Amino acid sequence: MNCKNCQEPLQQAFHFCPNCGARIVNHRINLKRLFRQFTGWFLNLDNALLRTFTGMLYQPEKVISAYIGGVRKKYMSPLSFLTIAITLAGLMIFILQRRFQGRLDFTMGAEEVNPEFSQIWSEIVFDYNAFFFVLYLPILALPAYLFMNRINYNFPEYIVVFIYTLSQWSILTFPFSLAILLISTETYASVNQIASSLVLAFCLYVLQRLNRFGFWSMIGRSLLYLLLTLVLFFMLIGVIMALLFLTGTLDLNSLRPPTA
């Protein structure tokens, strides 16, 4: 008998291939085995997810340093963690579009904002939410690499740091955002903006746990970090606005304040 994955000769008593590590499967799939495989996979995922989530909440440096240091089994990989976060964000957007479209005011009642622009911008944010999520990673990682790098991570490693950090924040805030949306729809937009600002505080928390700066050093580095992050963020918004004008999605009339 040979391994069906690598064709290595196998003994009859083997349960795993000694060459490639694959499980030896000699039976057909039935409902009992399918259910057992699914529950085993779900319980393993649940354990890894719980360890990663609680670890990122209380000791994020352990989760991040473990993955960067080569640990692969104890915690979820950053891409798996990111997938869960993006899935929950997509679910939230689905609910917003299906149940609450037209009932939310993301202009916060600002009279100078053109409703047409607000509508177009909301649709773009909803439709390309995952893309924006990924774009935020280098914006947050570059200032950290330059100003918050006592631990001496390289830039790709800081991308990993912020995959974990943004994913954790997205998963953490999902149930609260959903509850506010269902209980007090009119306050959702304002609470969402506050939460978007607090994500920077959570980023600084993770960076401090990783680098262990002294108090005054952390204050100074945090100011530099926030300044460059805001500059990069507004540069990104500028590039997006330019692309919207070039593609004809926006025009000058969209930016004009509404007439009384």
Label residue 188 exposed, middle or buried (CB < 10 Å: 0-12, 13-18, 19+). buried
pLDDT tier, 44 (very low <50, low <70, confident <90, very high otherwise): low
Cα dist from 194 to 97, 166, 191, 198, 211, whole Å: 21, 15, 5, 6, 26
Provide the pLDDT for residue 108.
46
Task: Compute the average pLDDT of residues 117-141.
Answer: 81
The reported pLDDT for the residue numbered 4 is 66
Predicted pLDDT of residue 155: 95
pLDDT tens by residue, 192-247: 778 778 899 999 999 999 999 999 999 999 999 999 999 999 999 889 888 888 88
Q: How far apart are CA 64 and CA 71, in angstroms?
A: 10
Cβ neighbours of residue 114 under 8 Å, at least 6 residues apart? 254, 255, 256, 257, 258
Confidence class for position 249, pLDDT limits 50, 70, 90: confident
- How do residues 50-59 score in pLDDT, each as one tens digit? 889 999 999 9
Could you give the C-alpha distances from 199 to 80, 119, 127, in angstroms and in order?
A: 20, 25, 21
* pLDDT, mean over the chain: 81
Within 8 A by CB and 6+ apart from 176, the residues are 195
pLDDT value at residue 179: 87
* Residue 100 · residue 180 · CB < 8 Å: no
Helix, strand, or coil (residue 2): strand
Nearest to 163 by CA among 65, 64, 47, 59: 64
Strand partners, 23: 16
